[in-house]
């Protein structure tokens, strides 16, 4: 039945979430950045706008206000989360029309500011175009807008600085933003989309894989529950009267009964590790000091594994360590958890204890490792025991930003897009304005040195990590170039030279911002900006050039902040995707697992509940006398039956269980030796047929031992003592093509499961030749 369920789940198409959280987040971030750029450029342009309004007719003043208002409105629309294509067309068109209106309304060109009022405003308009429109359309719109702007700036009415040199210089800055936007926006947008698609695909694949593995995992989980809770409760009842306080025995029986009822009742509620650990320490029979640090949400399956392993460690300390107290320390964060359980008991030799079939190996080590965690048990005889549990969200071996950038195929585009357009701008500025320097040789040499270093670094980081000394060299060159380039400014020179002085190190800062810790690029940008400000103060000690030169001296800091925002966004995507993806895929897989696990747990725990739950409930309710030898004997019989179920599971049918229980109640020995989960590869009904043949005949053996051995090639052996006189057992051995060994006082049957045909093991159907008394059952009946 389980196999059919797994097959159906594999065939069912996985349902993925329709939402695209990172794509949506990126668009919102882009809108916020655009709104900030709009407000920044309008504020910077205030002096130019004021001077233009004073030098034009009322129509020109109205046009200036309309242009600025439309630009601010576009920023509000984009920041609100909407990006309609018509907004880009409208904004650029209105800005161009208003500039022509202002140009026609100029009263006295000599009174116009040297800087055209709309120059800085065209920059966010171009950013809007490349961010909203497809690349092909954006290029067409930008070319048309640039042509219109150049036409305006070559006309004398546009101000004292009108001309081709000024037009090319100002257009170059705008085109730098266009180039960076054309590279960055599609790259980051593609990264976000691919990240969302990758998360959905991994979640779906994880759900399918987990559904296929759910049956085996839940079977082991059922074994652990039976071992950790039910067996311990039954053993507590079976101990001599007074060994454990009666109220504690009843509490253990009630807890085990509740767990059996809840195991197949439905999906569990979300679990909190801190609360689970607190509950475990409260229920422990030992004084437990609990130290909790941090907080974080972990997948339910991980919480279940860590809390279950911690509970088993506490129970082991209580039963075996002989200690006075236990310390439990847990540290939690959003990426995982670490737990340490320490006792000061007698300790043990881990090399011998860890070889047991359950206990430490299954209930602690395997339980945590199944969810991708780690578990270690350290102990020495007489030196106490330490159990360490840990689970972390899997980390990628690569830098997060590079991993996602490579995923989208954008890493080289980011490197080139962040540096080459700015470098091109710096070179153009140097060519256009070097004649304004009293001695341009050192300035041009500085530009050349920084250019060579930046190009070399850009080529290096496309294949290798950027070292710390690379960052130091680039920052030193950028600061020195800003100083050398600005010291030669002649008083009264064109303020555009400030862009040359401050922006020469921008490409180097861009590389550092993308591939080194954020503080390094910020330090370099602030250093270059401070040097540019010093140059302007040296040129005009009264500070009159600081305000008009603000776009220039702030260019490095603003550019680095934007690049850091992009780089940190990618880093945050990577970290959050790893964490959210881990949580989301566990959540999605939980539904698929539950359908399979429900069948497994119903079949596995359902049969145990039928004959254990009434007894545990009666103990917990106080309806049974814990001092009664009969009650203790029945608890021992049920404990052995539960161990049989852990070892052989569905290999034993109800008829075989009753025969085993009847033999044990009569004082005869029945032993089953098998690893948990090992018999799953046996032919159905093989173990049940052997045990039934041995225990249902007229010759009742004093000792019956069934052994399943071998990791890959399994062998099933049945030994009965003394050898029965009835030939029915040897007849069954012949049907199974088994090897039969006769000793003086025993009979040994050895079966190779690979040679057993389906006809020889007709499932778990009762053999009509042997009857079980009507109404007989393995479980206790009130």
Each residue of 420-449: pLDDT tens digit? 666 666 667 666 666 666 666 666 677 777
Radius of gyration of the chain (CA): 40
How far apart are the C-alpha atoms of 584 and 17, rounded to whole Å? 10
Tokens coding 105:
């309304």
How many CA atoms, within 13 angstroms, populate the side-chain half-sphere of residue 556?
34
At 343 the three-state DSSP class reads: strand
Between 695 and 28, residue with greater pLDDT: 695
The string of DSSP letters for 30-87 reads HHHHHHHHHHHHHHHTHHHHHHHHHTB-HHHHHHHHHHHHHHHHHHHHHHTT---HHH
At 386 the three-state DSSP class reads: strand
Mean pLDDT throughout 588-593?
Answer: 57
Tokens coding 601:
């747990």
- pLDDT number for residue 652: 76
How many CA atoms, within 13 angstroms, populate the side-chain half-sphere of residue 356?
14
- 429, 169 Cβ separation under 8 angstroms: yes
How far apart are the C-alpha atoms of 244 and 44, rounded to whole Å? 81
Environment class of 2 (CB within 10 Å of its CB; exposed 0-12, middle 13-18, buried 19+): middle
* pLDDT band of 414, cuts 50, 70, 90: low
Environment class of 781 (CB within 10 Å of its CB; exposed 0-12, middle 13-18, buried 19+): exposed
Element (H, E) at 710: none
According to DSSP, the residues that pair with 719 across neighbouring strands are 705, 748
In 622-653, where does DSSP find H-type helix?
629-648
Is 80 exceeded by the pLDDT of residue 99? yes
How far apart are the C-alpha atoms of 548 and 540, rounded to whole Å? 12
Nearest Cα residue to 457 out of 446, 445, 467: 467
* pLDDT band of 599, cuts 50, 70, 90: low
Element (H, E) at 338: strand 336-343
Is 50 exceeded by the pLDDT of residue 213? yes
Is 50 exceeded by the pLDDT of residue 403? no
How many CA atoms, within 13 angstroms, populate the side-chain half-sphere of residue 28?
8
How far apart are the C-alpha atoms of 266 and 598, rounded to whole Å? 8
How far apart are the C-alpha atoms of 265 and 275, rounded to whole Å? 22
In 108-243, where does DSSP find H-type helix?
119-132, 135-153, 164-225, 232-238
- pLDDT number for residue 94: 92
Residue 307: partners with Cβ closer than 8 Å, 6 or more residues away:
271, 273, 276, 277, 280
* pLDDT band of 729, cuts 50, 70, 90: confident
What mean pLDDT, rounded, does the chain reach?
73
In 326-399, where does DSSP find H-type helix?
350-353, 359, 367-369
Q: Which of 171-185, 325-339, 415-429, 689-703 has the lowest mean pLDDT?
A: 415-429
- pLDDT number for residue 768: 36
* pLDDT band of 577, cuts 50, 70, 90: low
Q: Is the pTM of this model over 0.85?
A: no
- pLDDT number for residue 397: 34
Query: What's the pLDDT tens digit per position in 28-55?
Result: 777 777 888 888 788 878 878 888 888 8
- 690, 751 Cβ separation under 8 angstroms: yes
Is 80 exceeded by the pLDDT of residue 393? no
In 540-554, where does DSSP find H-type helix?
550-553
Tokens coding 147:
């042509």
φ, ψ of residue 534 to 5 degrees: the values are -60, -40
CA-to-CA separations, 585 to 19, 300, 333, 652, 744, in angstroms, rounded: 15, 11, 19, 36, 61
Mean pLDDT throughout 559-567?
Answer: 70
The string of DSSP letters for 68-80 reads HHHHHHHHHHHHT
Determine how β-strand 326-333 pairs with β-strand 336-343: antiparallel
Cα-Cα-Cα-Cα dihedral of 138, 141, 147, 149, to 10°? Answer: -100
* Highest mean predicted confidence (pLDDT) among 191-205, 305-319, 502-516, 672-686: 305-319
How far apart are the C-alpha atoms of 720 and 432, rounded to whole Å? 104
At 717 the three-state DSSP class reads: strand
* pLDDT band of 711, cuts 50, 70, 90: low
- pLDDT number for residue 358: 47
How far apart are the C-alpha atoms of 328 and 314, rounded to whole Å? 9
Tokens coding 452:
């060579």
Cα end-to-end span (Å), the chain: 33
How far apart are the C-alpha atoms of 241 and 236, rounded to whole Å? 10
- pLDDT number for residue 580: 54
How far apart are the C-alpha atoms of 91 and 114, rounded to whole Å? 24
Is 60 exceeded by the pLDDT of residue 115? yes
Nearest Cα residue to 656 out of 730, 759, 774, 767: 767
- 679, 687 Cβ separation under 8 angstroms: yes
- pLDDT number for residue 771: 36
- 131, 34 Cβ separation under 8 angstroms: yes
Q: How far is C-alpha 326 from the geometric centre of its chain's CA atoms?
A: 33
How far apart are the C-alpha atoms of 719 and 384, rounded to whole Å? 40
Nearest Cα residue to 525 out of 557, 548, 570: 557
Between 405 and 509, residue with greater pLDDT: 509
Which CATH architecture does the domain made up of 652-768 adopt? 2-Layer Sandwich (3.30)
Number of other residues whose CB lies within 10 A of the CB of residue 28: 14
- B/e letters for 757-772, b = 16+ CB within 10 Å, e = fewer, are eeebbeebeeeeeeeb
- pLDDT number for residue 772: 35
**DSSP 8-class letter at 489:** B
Q: How far is C-alpha 532 from the geometric centre of its chain's CA atoms?
A: 44
Mean pLDDT throughout 504-519?
Answer: 76
Query: What's the pLDDT tens digit per position in 232-287?
Result: 777 788 888 777 888 888 888 887 777 777 665 554 555 678 888 888 888 777 88
């Amino acid at each position: 039945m389980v196999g059919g369920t797994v097959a159906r789940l594999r065939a069912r198409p996985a349902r993925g979430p329709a939402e695209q959280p990172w794509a949506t987040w990126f668009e919102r971030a882009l809108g916020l950045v655009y709104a900030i750029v709009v407000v920044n450029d309008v504020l910077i342009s205030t002096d130019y706008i004021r001077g233009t309004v004073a030098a034009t007719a009322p129509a020109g003043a109205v046009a200036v206000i309309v242009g600025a208002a439309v630009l601010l409105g576009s920023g509000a629309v984009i920041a609100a989360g909407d990006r309609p294509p018509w907004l880009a067309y409208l904004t650029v068109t209105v800005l161009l029309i208003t500039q022509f209106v202002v140009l026609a309304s100029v009263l006295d060109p000599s009174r116009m500011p040297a800087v055209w009022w709309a120059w800085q405003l065209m920059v966010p308009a171009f950013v809007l175009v490349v961010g909203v429109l497809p690349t092909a359309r954006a290029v067409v719109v930008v070319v048309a807008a640039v042509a219109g702007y150049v036409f305006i700036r070559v006309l004398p009415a546009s101000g004292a600085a009108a001309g081709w040199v000024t037009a090319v210089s100002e257009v170059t800055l705008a085109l730098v933003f266009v180039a960076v936007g054309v590279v960055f926006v599609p790259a980051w947008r593609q990264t976000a989309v691919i990240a969302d698609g990758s998360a959905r695909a991994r979640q779906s694949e994880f759900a399918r894989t987990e559904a296929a593995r759910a049956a085996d995992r839940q079977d082991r989980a059922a074994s652990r529950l039976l071992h950790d809770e039910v067996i311990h409760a039954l053993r507590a009842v079976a101990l001599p009267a007074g060994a454990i306080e009666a109220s504690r025995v009843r509490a253990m029986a009630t807890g085990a009964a509740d767990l059996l009822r809840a195991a197949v009742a439905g999906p569990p509620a979300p679990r909190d590790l801190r609360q689970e650990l607190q509950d475990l320490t409260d229920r422990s029979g030992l004084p437990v000091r609990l130290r909790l640090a941090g907080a974080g949400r972990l997948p339910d399956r991980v919480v279940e594994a860590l809390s279950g392993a911690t509970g088993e460690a506490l129970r082991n300390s209580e039963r075996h360590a002989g200690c006075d107290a236990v310390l439990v320390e847990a540290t939690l964060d959003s990426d995982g958890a670490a737990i340490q359980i320490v006792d000061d008991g007698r300790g043990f030799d881990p090399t011998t204890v860890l070889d047991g079939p359950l206990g430490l190996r299954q209930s602690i080590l395997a339980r945590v490792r199944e969810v991708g965690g780690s578990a270690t048990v350290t102990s020495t005889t007489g030196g106490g025991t330490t159990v360490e549990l840990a689970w972390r969200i899997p980390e990628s071996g690569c830098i997060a930003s590079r991993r996602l950038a490579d995923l989208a195929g954008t890493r080289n585009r980011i490197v080139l897009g962040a540096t080459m357009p700015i470098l091109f701008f710096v070179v153009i500025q140097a060519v256009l304005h070097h004649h304004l320097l009293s001695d341009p040789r050192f300035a041009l040499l500085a530009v050349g040195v920084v250019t060579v270093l930046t190009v070399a670094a850009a080529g290096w980081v496309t294949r290798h990590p950027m070292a710390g000394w690379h960052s130091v060299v680039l920052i030193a060159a950028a600061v020195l170039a800003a100083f050398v380039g600005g010291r030669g400014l002649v008083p009264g020179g064109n303020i555009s030279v400030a862009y040359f002085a401050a922006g020469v190190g921008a490409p180097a800062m861009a590389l550092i911002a993308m591939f080194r810790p954020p503080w390094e690029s910020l330090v370099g940008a602030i250093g270059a900006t401070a040097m540019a400000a010093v140059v302007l103060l040296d040129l005009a000690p009264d500070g009159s050039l600081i305000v008009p030169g603000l776009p220039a001296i702030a260019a490095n800091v603003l550019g680095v902040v934007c690049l850091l925002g992009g780089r940190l966004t990618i880093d945050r995507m990577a970290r959050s995707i790893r964490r959210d993806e881990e949580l989301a895929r566990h959540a999605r897989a939980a539904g698929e697992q539950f359908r399979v696990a429900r069948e497994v747990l119903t079949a596995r725990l359902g049969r145990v509940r039928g004959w254990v739950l009434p007894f545990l409930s009666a103990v917990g309710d106080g309806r049974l006398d814990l001092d009664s030898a009969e009650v203790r004997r029945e608890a021992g019989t049920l404990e052995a039956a539960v161990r049989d179920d852990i070892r052989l599971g569905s290999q034993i049918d109800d008829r075989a269980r009753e025969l085993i229980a009847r033999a044990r109640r009569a004082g005869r020995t029945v032993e089953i030796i098998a690893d948990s989960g090992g018999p799953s590869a046996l032919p159905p009904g093989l173990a049940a047929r052997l045990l039934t043949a041995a225990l249902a005949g007229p010759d009742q053996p004093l000792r019956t031992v069934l052994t399943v051995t071998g990791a890959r090639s399994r062998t099933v052996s049945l030994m009965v003592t003394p050898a029965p006189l009835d030939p029915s057992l040897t007849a069954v051995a012949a049907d199974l093509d088994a090897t039969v060994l006769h000793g003086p006082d025993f009979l040994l049957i050895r079966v190779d499961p690979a040679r057993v045909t389906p006809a020889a093991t007709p499932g778990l159907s009762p053999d009509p030749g042997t009857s079980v008394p009507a109404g007989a059952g393995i479980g206790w009946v009130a």
